[in-house]
Amino acid sequence: MMKALPRLLALSLAVALPGPAFAAQTYALVVGVDQYPNDVSLDGAVRDAEDVYRSMSAAGFKVVKFTDAEARKDDIRKAWTDMVATAAAGDTIIFTYAGHGAQMPELIAGDEADGLDEFLQLPGFDRNRYEETSGEIIVDNEMNAWFSEAEGKGVHVLFVSDSCFSGGMSRSIKGKSRLAPAVTVKLAPPSQEAIEGANLKEINFKQVTVLAASLESQPTPEVIIDGEPRGALSWSFARAVEGSADRDGNGIITRIELEDYIFSNVKNRSEALQVPNFMPQVARSESEVVVTLTRGIPVATADTGTATTTSDAGGAAGTDKVIKPASDLGWTGKIALEIDGDAQKPANTDGIGTPFRWDVASGVFYTPNGDVAAENVGPDRIQAVVDKFVLLDFLKAMASQNPGSVSLTPVKDIYAAGTRLRFDAPPGRYPNMLVFNLANTGEVQFLDMQAAGTDSAQFKLTDVEVVKPFGADHLITIWTAEPVDAIGAVLADRNVTAATLLQALQTRLDGKEASVAIQPLYTRETL
C-alpha cells in the first residue's frame, strides 16, 4: 500500500484542477526494480515498468525509464528536475514506481502520527550499511519537496506507486510482496530535502494526485496476470493509458474515469486482494483531468480560439471506442495446468506461463497465485473447473476494456463458513443485464436477467451464507445494449456448462460493447 505520503492526507485538496491547457504535454518518469542485491528480489516490477513505458510512449508522452541497477537516486532526481524545468503550466508529470517500499523511524520528531516515515527502496540501499547507502532511498518528505517544485510552476503531478509499506493478508499467496523489512533504528536524514520536506505537510497541494496499489491494511502482492508475475496496479494503469479508461473517447482521462477503471480492474486482476487508494480520496471536481492522451490533446481553433480535439488513433475523438475481441487482448482459450499425481490431462490446459495446479490425491485445485480455488476435484470434475477458469479469463479480457462495478459486504480477503454476505450489482448504463455465479465446482448458477428495458435495475443478494464446498466463486454481472435473450436461454438451462456459456458469450458479445464486473469470493471452513 502507498502510505509513502501520509501527510498528503492531511492537506486541504478541495480546489479543482483546471482543464488541460491547449496542446498540453505529458512527461513521464518510470522506475521499476526487481533486482535488490541486499534484499529479496522481485519478479514482476521491471515487467511492470516496461509495460507502463510502452503504453505511455505510444500515447505520445515524453518518457524516461530506469530499471534495476539504472535506478539510482541521483539520476532519478535529475530526470525529475529536468522535467519540471521543461514543463510549462498546465503540463503533467506522471511518476510511476514499481518495487519495494519500507518504513523507518520518523526522521523529524513529531512529524508522523504513527512515528514512521515511508520510503521507496532503490537497489543500491543496504540497511546494514545505512550511512554509506542512505542516498539510495527516496523518503516521503523528499517526494513532498519534489512535488512542491512542480506545484510551484502550475504543473500537474500524478504519482502511481505499485509498492507497499505495511499490511497483512488472510489468504495464502505464493507471490512475492513488495514490502521490504523495516529499518528499526533511528537514522540521520539522507538529505536536506528530507528535513525541509517535513515542513511541506501544511502546503495546500492543488495539482498533485497519488494513486497507491492498496490500502494501508493490505499488502501489495505480485499476482499472476497472463501467466506472468505482475503488479495489478501497474497492469491496470498501462491499460488505462492505452485508452481503456477513456470511457467517452475524448482523449482525456478524468479522475473519475481513472477511479472507475482502476478500482474494477485491480480487483479483477488481484482476485480481490487489493483495493487501490487515491489521495485526495475524493475527486476535486467531476471534470478533474489526470491524464491527457495524444489523440485528444486540446488545440486552439484559428477562428474562435476554442478547444477542439484531434485524433491520431484512426478515428475522431469523442466517438465510441473500438472494442476488441478477447483474442486480441491475449486470451487464448487455454490455461496452463500442472498435475500432481496420475490423471489424464483435461482439454484446454496446454497454455503457457505460471500454471494452475491440481493435486489429484487431495483433490485440491490451486490458482497460479497459490489460492485454493476448489476442493474435492476428482477426474469427473476437473474439466468443469478448467472450463470455468478459461471462461473467467475471457470475462477478464472483456472487463479490461469496459469494467463495471459491484460490491460484496462485508469486504474481506477470505470468508469463513457461516459468514453471511450481501452482493449488490447497481444499475448499469446499458438497458440489458445478466447476473450469474461461476461456482468453485465449475457449475454455472443463473441469478438474473433484465432485458429490453430503458435502464437495468439494481440486483441484490442478501443474507447469503457461506457453506461447503469451499474455494473460489466468481459473481459475474454483464451490462450491454446487445440482445441478451439467447444468452439468458443458455443460462436458464440447469445443466449449462461453462464451455457452453463461453460459446454463447463469444457469439453474442465478443468484440461488442458490454461492461463486465467480476466479484471474487474466496471461502474456507475456518480462518
- Both 300 and 335 in one domain: the answer is no
- Both 303 and 332 in one domain: the answer is no
- Both 247 and 331 in one domain: the answer is no
User: 385 in a domain, yes or no?
Assistant: yes
pLDDT for residue 345 = 97
pLDDT for residue 320 = 56
- Both 345 and 467 in one domain: the answer is yes
Report the chain (527 residues): mean pLDDT per 10 consecutive residues.
Answer: 34 37 80 96 97 96 97 98 96 97 79 75 93 91 92 95 76 79 77 69 77 81 94 97 92 94 96 91 90 58 36 37 91 98 97 97 97 97 98 98 95 94 93 96 96 78 95 97 95 96 98 96 93
**What is the Cα–Cα distance from 209 to 30, expressed in whole angstroms?**
16
Which of 281, 309, 337 marks a domain boundary? 309
- Both 173 and 302 in one domain: the answer is yes
Neighbours of 176 (CB within 10 A): 18
- Both 167 and 223 in one domain: the answer is yes
- Both 119 and 55 in one domain: the answer is yes
pLDDT for residue 34 = 98
Strand 514-524 vs strand 415-416: parallel, antiparallel, or unpaired? parallel
Q: Give the dihedral sign, CA 250/281/156/4.
A: negative
- Both 194 and 331 in one domain: the answer is no
**What is the Cα–Cα distance from 53 to 76, expressed in whole angstroms?**
15
- Both 225 and 264 in one domain: the answer is yes
**What is the Cα–Cα distance from 497 to 500, expressed in whole angstroms?**
5
What 77-86 contacts at long range (C-beta under 8 Å, 24+ apart), as own/partner pairs, is 77/146, 79/29, 80/29, 80/146, 80/149, 81/149, 83/27, 83/29, 84/149, 84/150, 84/153, 84/155, 86/27
Domain of residue 87, CATH code: 3.40.50.1460
When divided into structural domains, the chain yields a total of: 2
User: 496 in a domain, yes or no?
Assistant: yes
Q: Residues for the chain: how many in total?
A: 527
Q: Give the dihedral sign, CA 473/407/7/200.
A: positive
Which of 277, 309, 341 marks a domain boundary? 309
User: 116 in a domain, yes or no?
Assistant: yes
Which of 264, 284, 309 marks a domain boundary? 309
- Both 256 and 298 in one domain: the answer is yes
Neighbours of 210 (CB within 10 A): 22
**Which range marks the domain in which residue 376 is found?**
326-524
pLDDT for residue 253 = 95
